[in-house]
Amino acid sequence: MTSGDGAHDEHPADLGERLADWLQELGLASALAEAGLPTLDRDPQGRAVWTDPGTRKPLTRDQLEQLDRLLHHEGSDPRHAVPVPLVQIARRARVREVLLASPWLTYETLAGLRGTSVEATRFWVHKTNAERRLLVVAADERTLVPAFQLTADGEPRPDLVPVLDPLLAARMDPWHAWTWLTQPAALLGGLVPERAVADPETADLVLHAAVRLSERVRARA
């Protein structure tokens, strides 16, 4: 695979196909739209169709060459010229799929668990989130309450509240907080924070890691 100057000698259709095949092989084609880049589809004959997100028109030769240069700016070797931002977006999408496959509640299902009305539950969720005792995540048009942080009767887990407090106070992205709390964490040597905090032997370590993470979040803000 080549890029850069060689792209000028390539027919636009061939260039479009090469880019499409490359990104699909890497599993990154679905991340293009979120990155604000031209989007890729296939026509009924299986040919690559590249569309400008602003005009909704097919990309011109110049635009395809621009896209080629942008995606290969890390280098020209296909083993190394991986568009890192797309990799990060694709990874984030995969992580979100994993999180959405785990238990979570809506206002309605949480109301059923708590034995209260939807209106009362909605008020309770916003109040408890404002008190930094409950993680709330927005997904499309829905408000989700990840279930790992609740007791069997729908109350915030007492052991987890001190961990949530610094993360929410730092205004950490809720998706990132959900990920960190429920996936193996580097700051904890691979332990899962929401599980490790339930163990008296590792609870203090989790609290310390949460504070350190919140400091990093504040520093990047």
What tens digit of pLDDT does each residue of 49-103 get?
989 988 989 999 998 888 888 777 654 444 446 666 776 666 676 767 778 889 9
Query: Looking at the DSSP assignment, which residues form a beta bridge with residue 143?
Result: 138
Mean pLDDT (the chain, rounded): 86
Please, which pLDDT band fits residue 182 given cuts at 50, 70 and 90?
A: very high
pLDDT digits (tens, 9 = 90+) for 124-156: 999 999 999 999 999 888 899 999 999 999 999
Radius of gyration of the chain from its Cα atoms, rounded to whole angstroms: 23
Please, which pLDDT band fits residue 1 given cuts at 50, 70 and 90?
A: very low
C-alpha 40/C-alpha 30 separation (Å) is 8
Question: Angle at which helices 161-169 and 203-220 pack, to 10 degrees?
Answer: 10
What is the pLDDT at residue 221?
75
Q: Are 43 and 49 in contact (CB under 8 A)?
A: yes
Q: Are 14 and 22 in contact (CB under 8 A)?
A: no
Q: Is this structure's pTM higher than 0.85?
A: no
β-strand 142-146 against 104-105: which pairing, if any? antiparallel
Strands (E), the chain: 39-42, 48-51, 104-105, 137-139, 142-146
- Both tokens of 120, joined, read 């009362």
Residue 41 backbone phi and psi in degrees, to 5: -135, 170
Q: Are 29 and 22 in contact (CB under 8 A)?
A: no
Please, which pLDDT band fits residue 204 given cuts at 50, 70 and 90?
A: very high
